[in-house]
């Protein structure tokens, strides 16, 4: 059976939250939706709950469950869902988050009105700390892109979300261009390996200011991620995935090329910073030369200067890649110390200002 929209929901040990997610998905006012649930082989009762919805919910016949052979992570989960989806458009919803009843209706209407290949909704992020809940809204301006390279230039300059949810995407774009997420391991930028290339294939796009997605973050989840042992295998895969993106030098004639490279180099810099901060955790230990080579820039000095875009950023990142390995790492440590000091001073100033206001 063909659908207009497939909502893909990857499921792995989310028994506590899956009812909230499924209720929000099944409450959509848009009628023609396939609810594609991927079982990533968790150890709780999440899938049994989905099967209950299949039997009891009025839209249960539109729920389809597919199973991975074993736990394969979010990157492979999203790839499998995009392969299996029967809708014309694909929308990703993470288990543990929720969408509003008119989410798909709003995005689909915008796609039809503007013949768009992709439509983004805005979202709100909820931070859960016990009984306390704080909220931050991430709202796009209303924008419609119709010219070649216009959307890509915007993405690489102003930026849109890295996350792979809350946009309605024409499945033909994915399949005709063989777009995939790199299975780099949880927490090491799987979504980025997809979304960084996506703008290069899109001409017609829409950004909506409407809040269509609620993203939930629990404080304990952040603590667990920080404590998680760094995996050398996952970091290597992430760095290799970014390096592969850097090799797309055939895009050098595009007006967004230097901006795209600067974004890729920013991610390389971020990975190397993580490694420097937690260097002894990844075994075998990264050498100075390996870290320096990660910062190799795909553009020459003259290409950077002549591009007239993101010149300072590309010079900054490119500088690390031409230094001797030991000096490169020492300079990275200096910038880590300096940025850490700036953040600490800002926190002290905010705390003093807050205390001063309390006294008043």
Please report, to the nearest 10 degrees, the dihedral formed by the alpha carbons of residues 325, 328, 329, 331 taken in order: 160
CATH code for position 18: 3.90.550.10
Cα 187 to the center of its chain, rounded Å: 10
Give residue 344's pLDDT: 79
The CA distance from 119 to 102, in Å, is: 14
Q: Is residue 302 part of a domain?
A: yes
Strand partners, 91: 7, 168
**Between vectors from CA 45 to CA 42 and to CA 50, what angle results, nearest 5°?**
100
Q: Are residues 80 and 205 in the same domain?
A: yes
Residues 48 and 152 in one domain: yes
Domain boundary among 173, 190, 224: 224
Are residues 256 and 320 both part of a single domain? yes
The domain total for the chain is 2
What interhelical angle do 311-322 and 257-277 show, nearest 10?
A: 50
User: Which residues, in sequence order, are CB contacts of 147 under 8 Å at separation 6+?
Assistant: 203
Domain annotation covers residue 232: no
Alpha-carbon torsion (206, 215, 40, 180), positive or negative: positive
In a shared domain, residues 260 and 343: yes
3-state secondary structure of 42: coil
Query: Which range of residues forms the domain containing residue 299?
Result: 248-348
The first and second tokens of residue 190, run together, are 């799987």
- pLDDT at residue 337 in the model: 86
Domain membership of residue 237 (yes or no) is no
318 burial via Cβ count (<10 Å: 0-12, 13-18, 19+): buried
Task: Write the burial class of residue 267 (CB in 10 Å: 0-12 exposed, 13-18 middle, 19+ buried).
Answer: buried
- pLDDT tens, residue order, the chain (360 aa): 689 999 999 999 999 999 999 999 999 999 999 999 999 999 999 999 999 999 999 999 999 999 999 999 899 999 999 999 999 999 999 999 999 999 999 999 999 999 999 999 999 999 888 778 888 999 999 999 999 999 999 999 998 888 999 999 999 999 999 999 987 765 567 898 899 999 999 999 999 999 999 999 886 554 445 445 678 888 888 899 999 999 999 999 999 999 999 999 999 998 898 899 888 888 899 999 999 999 999 999 999 999 989 999 999 999 999 999 999 999 999 988 888 888 778 878 777 776 665 544
Any idea what the Cα angle at residue 292 is, between residues 286 and 294, rounded to 5°? 80
Q: What is the pLDDT of residue 222?
A: 46
For Cα atoms 213, 219, 225, give the angle at the middle one, nearest 5 degrees: 95
Q: Domain boundary residue among 224, 258, 285? A: 224
Q: Which two tokens stand for residue 222?
A: 């952040």
SS3 string of 187-248?
Answer: CCCHHHHHHCCHHHHCCCEEEEEEEEEEEEEEHHHHHHHHHCCCCHHHHHHHHHHHHHHHCC
Please report the pLDDT score of residue 185 as a whole number.
61
pLDDT given for residue 338 in this prediction: 87
Q: Does some domain include residue 233? A: no
């Amino acid at each position: 059976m063909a659908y207009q929209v497939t909502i893909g929901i990857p499921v792995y040990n989310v028994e506590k939250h899956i009812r909230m997610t499924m209720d929000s998905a099944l409450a959509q006012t848009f009628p023609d939706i396939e609810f594609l649930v991927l079982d990533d082989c968790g150890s709780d009762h999440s899938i049994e709950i989905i099967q209950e919805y299949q039997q009891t919910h009025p839209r249960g016949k539109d729920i389809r469950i597919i199973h991975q052979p074993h736990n394969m992570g979010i990157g492979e989960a999203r790839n499998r869902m995009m392969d299996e989806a029967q809708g014309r458009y694909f929308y990703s919803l993470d288990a543990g988050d929720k969408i509003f009843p008119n989410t798909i209706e709003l995005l689909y209407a915008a796609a039809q009105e503007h013949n768009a290949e992709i439509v983004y909704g805005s979202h709100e992020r909820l931070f859960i700390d016990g009984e306390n809940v704080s909220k931050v809204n991430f709202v796009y301006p209303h924008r419609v892109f119709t010219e070649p390279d216009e959307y890509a230039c915007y993405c690489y300059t102003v930026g849109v979300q890295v996350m792979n949810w809350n946009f309605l995407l024409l499945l033909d774009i994915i399949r005709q261009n063989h777009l995939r997420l790199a299975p780099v391991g949880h927490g090491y930028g799987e979504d980025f390996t997809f979304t960084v290339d996506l703008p290069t294939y899109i001409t017609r796009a829409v950004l909506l200011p409407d809040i269509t997605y609620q993203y939930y973050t629990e404080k304990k989840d952040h603590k667990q991620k920080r404590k998680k042992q760094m995996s050398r295998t996952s970091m290597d895969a992430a760095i290799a995935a970014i390096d592969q993106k850097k090799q797309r030098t055939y895009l050098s004639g595009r007006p967004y090329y230097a901006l795209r490279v600067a974004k890729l180099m920013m991610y390389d810099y971020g990975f190397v910073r993580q490694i420097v901060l937690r260097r002894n955790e990844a075994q075998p230990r990264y050498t100075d030369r390996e870290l320096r080579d990660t910062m190799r820039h795909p553009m020459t000095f003259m290409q950077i200067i002549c591009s007239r875009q993101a010149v300072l950023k590309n010079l900054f990142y490119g500088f690390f890649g031409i230094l001797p390995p030991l000096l490169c790492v020492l300079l990275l440590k200096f910038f880590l110390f300096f940025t850490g000091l700036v953040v600490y001073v800002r926190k002290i100033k905010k705390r003093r200002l807050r205390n001063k206001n309390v006294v008043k």
